[in-house]
Amino acid sequence: MKSRNQQRQGKKKVLLVDDHPVVREGLARAINQEDDLMVCGEAGDAPHGLAAVAALRPDVVVVDISLEEGCGLDLIKDLHARTPELPTLALSMHPENLYAERAIRAGALGYVMKRQPVSDMISALRKVLGGHVAASDDILRRLVGAGRRARGDGCASPADLLSDRELEVFRLFGEGLATRDIAAKLRIALSTVQSYRAAIKQKLGLRNGTELVSRAARFVATEG
């Protein structure tokens, strides 16, 4: 019979980066029940996530793309640049058509929505640990296809046209947040949000703030 230490040594180490303790606790409980996986540590934001990777040397990192302190997509990019051999699995409350392609292009090997069963995340963890992409067939087709996808009416989606941060700001406008509220939530300067706002209007061909908020609200209602 193997000792507990021997059993732990045979497991792949998972680091969880999510700003909700309850979510981390639930994921850790499920992962630690598996024979081949164990949670080696947790972090609530991007800076602590980077520090935990250096200190704990996990085999895989699960990253929530919506972090209070730092953007999860930026963390994935940083991890991929620093340790390209370390697989990451993006976790999100948003539909995959909005962020999955972005996460994988940032360096993640997979994308799982929080509303999916925990068993899907466990399966995705094993896939990315094996060097495989854990994503739907639709996302895989988009990744290997040429060019950006377009809507049936010929109009590109904001998800196609905006940068990661611009899309995040756009979505928050659609949720009813004011410019100051967005700056506070993302912990960035008010002038920075205003710059993003101007860039969004230019890229989407919007004439004023009213059109921006209206377009953002429709986007959130249908896609976000």
Name residue, tokens 């996460």.
Answer: 103
Mean pLDDT of 116-136: 91
Res 133 pLDDT > 50 = yes
Tell me the C-alpha distance between 125 and 116, whole Å.
14
Comparing C-alpha atoms, which of 95, 206, 99, 90 is closest to residue 163?
Answer: 99
Using the Cα atoms of residue 48, residue 49, residue 52 and residue 53 in order, give the sign of their dihedral. negative
Res 139 pLDDT > 90 = no
Query: Would residue 107 be called left, alpha or beta, if left means φ above 0 and alpha means ψ between -120 and 50 degrees?
Result: left
> What pLDDT, in 10s, does the model give residues 13-70?
999 999 999 999 999 999 999 999 999 999 999 999 999 999 999 999 999 988 876 6
3-state secondary structure of 137: helix
**Residue 189 burial by CB count (10 A; 0-12/13-18/19+): exposed, middle or buried?**
exposed
Domains along the chain?
4-144 (3.40.50.2300), 158-222 (1.10.10.10)
User: What amino acid is encoded at 82 in this protein?
Assistant: R
Tell me the C-alpha distance between 60 and 129, whole Å.
7
Give the pLDDT confidence score for residue 145 in this predicted structure. Answer: 58
Q: For residue 36, what are the contacts with CB-CB under 8 A and spacing of at least 6?
A: 10, 11, 12, 126
Give the pLDDT confidence score for residue 224 in this predicted structure. Answer: 56
Tell me the C-alpha distance between 71 and 84, whole Å.
19
Retrieve residue 29's tokens.
């409980």
Give the pLDDT confidence score for residue 151 in this predicted structure. Answer: 41
Give the pLDDT confidence score for residue 135 in this predicted structure. Answer: 83
